[in-house]
Amino acid sequence: MRDTRRTASTLVLIGGLTLAACGTNAADSSPSSASPRAAAASSLPVTPAISASSTNQHAAFTVKEFDSFDSTSDSGWTATFQVLSSPAGNILVNPGKYDREVADFVKSIGGVDAIMITHGLCDKLRGLAAAMKTNAKVVAYIHQLGQPYLHDPKRNCSVEEGTSRTTDAKTSTFEESTTTIAGHRVQLIHLHGHTEGSTIFWFPDDNTMIGGDTVMSTQIGSASHPGGNEASRTAPIAKFKKLTFPSDARRYNGHDASTTYAELMKSNSDLA
Give contact residues for Zn ion (rule: CB under 5 A). 3, 121, 213
For Zn ion, which is the closer residue by CB, 139 or 191?
191
For Zn ion, which is the closer residue by CB, 3 or 205?
3
Least Å from the CB of residue 161 to Zn ion: 12
Least Å from the CB of residue 14 to Zn ion: 27
Strand pairing report for 199-203 and 184-190: antiparallel
Q: Which residues of 169-202 are buried (b: 16+ CB within 10 A; e: fewer)?
A: bbbbbbbbbbbebbebbbbbbbbbbbbbbbbbbb
Least Å from the CB of residue 221 to Zn ion: 6
Q: What angle do CA 45, 51, 54 make, to 5 degrees?
A: 180
Estimate to the nearest angstrom the gap between the alpha carbon of 184 and the chain centroid: 15
For Zn ion, which is the closer residue by CB, 5 or 239?
5
Least Å from the CB of residue 10 to Zn ion: 29
Which of 157, 142, 177, 137 has the alpha carbon at shortest distance from 29?
Answer: 142
Least Å from the CB of residue 121 to Zn ion: 4
For Zn ion, which is the closer residue by CB, 90 or 222?
222
For Zn ion, which is the closer residue by CB, 176 or 213?
213
With CB atoms as reference, the residue minimizing the distance to Zn ion is 213
Rounded CA separation 243/241 (Å): 5
